[in-house]
Amino acid sequence: MREKLIAVRHRTLGALRDAGLHLHAYCNNDGCHWSAPLDLSAMIEKLGEAQSALPPDLAPRLVCSRCGGKDVAVVLSAAEALPDDAARYLRSKNNDQI
């Protein structure tokens, strides 16, 4: 629930930057599952501060840098780096919802 509240309060890339929050991308393609932090400054330079940071608005704009896939999830975090097992955890949660 806390993640939803953070996302609602910080709807734009500029608001995330100002709050010191971070975005991470996770590739959902079988055989890839690459994860990486997103460069918020570069995204703001390209898309603007007012670009929506909500996952349904941002995820379709992303492409996996490893496999080129477009099935990319966006995760909001207060941490600059997430634990190594975070991608596995997110995949298990996605599978539970399908």
In 27-46, which positions are buried (b, 16+ CB within 10 angstroms) versus exposed (e)?
bbeeebbbbeebebeebbee
pLDDT > 90 fraction of the chain, expressed in percent and rounded: 37
Domains of the chain by residue range: 2-97
The answer to whether residue 47 scores a pLDDT higher than 90 is yes
The pLDDT value recorded for residue 96 is 45
Strand partners, 26: 35, 73
pTM of the model: 0.71
Please tell me what DSSP assigns to residue 21.
-
Reported as a single tens digit per residue, the pLDDT across 69-84 is 999 988 888 777 766 6
Reported as a single tens digit per residue, the pLDDT across 27-45 is 999 889 888 899 999 999 9
